[in-house]
Amino acid sequence: MYGYDQSQGAQQQQYASQQSYGAQPHGQPSHGQHGSVPGQHGSVPGQPLYPEPSPPSLADAVRAFTTGSLAAEDFQQIFATSKVYCPRGDNPGFLALHNTQQPVIPMFTSLKELRRYAGKESKYFVITGAEVIDLLPTGYGFVLDMEGEHRMVFDAKAVEQMVDFAMRRMYG
């Protein structure tokens, strides 16, 4: 998880997901191996007819939050479960920017956004937003998508509020 490209695993997962249940090689008809359920035309056995909608991506949540169409609590819930891409140096840990009013740590909603900021060959690691909140050093803030259209800056006080929110949600 720390600093290597995870595309190999993603390719294997994509290959596995492309192999549908009971699929036949191209050009060979199915011989009625699977009965159909009335009202489920073209569905794959074992999968719901109408799958649950996927939650919004972190980038979508950033856009919605910065435009005022997403509440802070909803943003924090999405952030907590989302992947966050962090540039890294030769030593483990966050890279911080100290040329700001308060030190901040650059983080990104996607590998594409990280590459736009740090370059194609940059090292990085991926963690969840909840892990960010847990591991961020006291007194540091973070900035999401520094070079992006909807950059978000969370100062140290905002991070403390996020920690408080997470603790209340978890422990009541």
Per residue in 59-77, pLDDT tens?
999 999 988 999 999 999 9
Q: Is residue 13 part of a domain?
A: no
| CB contact set of 73 (below 8 Å; sequence gap of 6+) | 165
Residue 57 pLDDT greater than 70, yes or no:
yes
pLDDT of res. 44: 59
Q: Total structural domains in the chain?
A: 1
Q: Is residue 144 part of a domain?
A: yes
Q: Which residue has the higher pLDDT, 48 or 23?
A: 48
Domain that holds residue 134: 58-171
Q: Is residue 10 part of a domain?
A: no
Q: Evaluate whether 106 touches 116 at the Cβ level (below 8 Å).
A: no
Average of pLDDT values for 7-34?
Answer: 37
Q: Which residue has the higher pLDDT, 42 or 172?
A: 172
Q: Is residue 62 part of a domain?
A: yes
- Closest listed residue to residue 141, CA positions, set 169, 119, 170, 162: 162
The CA-CA-CA angle for residues 88, 93, 94, to 5°, reads 65
| CB contact set of 64 (below 8 Å; sequence gap of 6+) | 56, 70, 75
| Rounded-to-integer distance, Cα 21 and Cα 107, Å | 39
Q: Is residue 19 part of a domain?
A: no
The pTM of this model reads 0.66
Q: Is residue 26 part of a domain?
A: no
Q: Is residue 24 part of a domain?
A: no
Q: Is residue 77 part of a domain?
A: yes
pLDDT of res. 167: 86
Share of the chain above pLDDT 90, in %: 45
CATH of the domain at 94: 3.40.1350.90
pLDDT band, very low/low/confident/very high, at 47 (cuts 50, 70, 90): low
pLDDT in tens, 133-164: 999 999 999 999 988 888 899 999 999 999 99
pLDDT in tens, 95-131: 999 888 889 999 999 999 999 999 999 999 999 999 9
